[in-house]
Amino acid sequence: MLSTQEILLRILLAFLLSSAIGMEREFGNQAAGLRTHILVCTGSTLVMLVSFHLFELYGGRTTMDPARLGAQVISGIGFLGVGTIMKEGASIRGLTTAAGLWVVACIGLAVGAGFYLGAVVVTIVIVITLTVVNRLEARINKSRNNYSITLRADNVPGQLGRIGSALGGKGISIRNIRMIELDEFTVEIILLLKLPGQMGLNEVIQALNEVDGIKQIVDSS
């Protein structure tokens, strides 16, 4: 039977590990942020603790698999992950967040089972993947003439259409669009652009400067 201290330790560790991953998602303004990751991880830890507790209570009287409840968590977390995936035009967003929720659930199960080393190592790997590898992807995109541009513009109808027309007139393809409403009057627009030929970033900025309502342009590649 697990002691009270051991139970509290596992729940606290699940909280800390999920917070490390959730903070990165929160700073990235993802659909599933800090709270969601903490809830998924600590809930998964509790499921594994309950499973072990039931096995200790009834294991001698019935054939019982202590991993059965954990397996249901792995299956069930897929439904939560689907809610973070969104299709915007030809682009699909949220796959990384959905995968992150699945991994966080696995981390919670590992902590609940007392497999601390595996849980900590995987958390470190995930944090590195979400931060360092993200920058590496940006460099690869840049080498392929793909650039990420962040705009702050007036939050008015038709703004995206005007931006698309200005870029399309220069032969620039929009690979992905992400829009965040900062307040009633301002919207942040993150664009992943494919530039034609030898076109440089300065020409993109020049084209965007001709669009009414754009307040700020930042190269976020």
Residue the block writes with tokens 């796959």: 95
What's residue 31's pLDDT? 57
142: pLDDT strictly greater than 70 = no
Cα-Cα-Cα-Cα torsion 97, 72, 36, 78, nearest 10 degrees, comes to: 30
The residue ranges of every structural domain in the chain are 4-137, 144-219
DSSP tally for the chain: helices H, then strands E: 7, 6
What's residue 120's pLDDT? 97
Distance CA 162, CA 165 (A): 5
What's residue 148's pLDDT? 83
Least confident of 45-49, 72-76, 195-199: 195-199
Q: Average pLDDT for residues 199-210, to the nearest whole number? A: 83
Distance CA 136, CA 37 (A): 24
Percent of the chain residues past pLDDT 90, beyond the cut: 26
What's residue 38's pLDDT? 93
Global model pTM greater than 0.85: no
Q: Average pLDDT for residues 113-128, to the nearest whole number? A: 94
Distance CA 126, CA 118 (A): 12
Q: Which residues contact 96 (CB under 8 A, 6 or more apart)?
A: 30, 130
The class that CATH gives domain 144-219 is: alpha beta
